[in-house]
Structure 1
Amino acid sequence: MEKVSLAFHGKLNILDNKAGTAIDKKAIDSMAEEYMSIMSTNFESAFLVCQLAYPLLKVSGAGSIVNISSIFGKLF
């Protein structure tokens, strides 16, 4: 976020979250570690980036956060 702050003069107008992953197996066949990895990538990373970006978004006076997901989760 330090590099972002320098590049955009301490302000950020938009944060676009769209990282995600999935495991191609039924939930009943998944291990706890696989679930934790998915949650870390798909939820926790977006949450933490939002926390880090918040000060820059607030300073801009009109910051927006866009979280993008996919239909992929409906396939299983």
Structure 2
Amino acid sequence: KTAEEEGNKAAAMVFTHAMKAEEVHAALYDEAARNLDEEGEVFYYLCPVCGNIEKGRPEKCRICNVSGDKFIKY
């Protein structure tokens, strides 16, 4: 709120992206904890712009709309 109130649009956008990415991270952690006994490799894809993580390479980032081909595979 402070960034928005001060008119700092760039900071407000960064904080909004970070908050949304952390919501996704929490869901992924929860899913991983429930599936600890499953075997096999799992790959994740990281958005280099906002930090969003996806289980598969998306067409575009659901948070910042960057193209999916920019995502880094882990």
Greater C-alpha Rg: 1
Structure with the bigger percentage of helix: 1
- Is TM (by shorter chain) over 0.5? no
Q: In which range does the TM-score fall when normalised by the shorter chain?
A: 0.3 to 0.5
Relative contact order (alpha carbons < 8 A, sep ≥ 6): 1 or 2 greater? 1
Structure 2-normalised TM-score?
A: 0.38
Q: TM-score, normalised by structure 1?
A: 0.37
